[in-house]
Structure 1
Amino acid sequence: MKKYFIQYSPFTVPTTDGKLIEEHHGLAATNNPEISIAHMIAPPLWSEPFQTPEFEEYTYIISGKKQFIIDGETIILTAGQSIKIEKNTRVQYSNPFNEPCEYIAVCRPAFSIEKVNREK
């Protein structure tokens, strides 16, 4: 048995908002409930509803800028910066800027639609 796994074909999550989500490890890609690691590109002027996830989320910005509204505080990260958001924290993710934002997201435990708790 090999003691490593190289991901050659991440799971591309179907979206309707123009955002690219390539999950390399996690529930959809590798059936791993402990962690998810995804490469993402949020298009200009993208946003999603507020949510209160039951997992912690780490985000590392590769290029562009990303906006976070966390418990009413607006934070903007740029390339080379990262953030950890604790689980059960109300947050909204968006890219209200005129350029794409490329980033890596890590969720622990793994991201699941049942545990993200998006507001309607």
Structure 2
Amino acid sequence: MSSALAPLLVTTSLVIGPTAGARERLIAAHLAPDLPGAPACVAVLLEGLPDGTSIIFPSPSVLIERIAPGCLCCTGNLVLRVTLNRLLRRRPERLYIALAVTAHLDQLRSWLLQPPYDQLLELTPDLRT
């Protein structure tokens, strides 16, 4: 298959930090418009409620979804899958998944590397606050 026909993978980072605010600040730093080569459309999947005031806001180039905190690879799997699929249909160039609970981080990463996500996502090293 020609590389011109191959689908572009969405560069995806799991964002880990002690608080929702810390995770959002880290993502916001990566969303800075003055960064060279900034993607045209970024998706942000935030687990849990914000710490007070959010610092990331939706716009035509920033898609934001929030899901309830919990174990995303166990009890939250269906919610994560539905929300992730909804975001991916909008074809972002970059995706950040901010995790409130990291107990099963390796299982979540493994799940994201399996079909169908192995053909849709390119996982980067985790971003830690």
TM-score, normalised to structure 1, is: 0.31
Q: Which has the higher contact order (CA 8 A, sep 6+)?
A: 2
| Greater strand content | 1
Higher helix share: 2
Q: Give TM-score scaled by structure 2 length.
A: 0.30
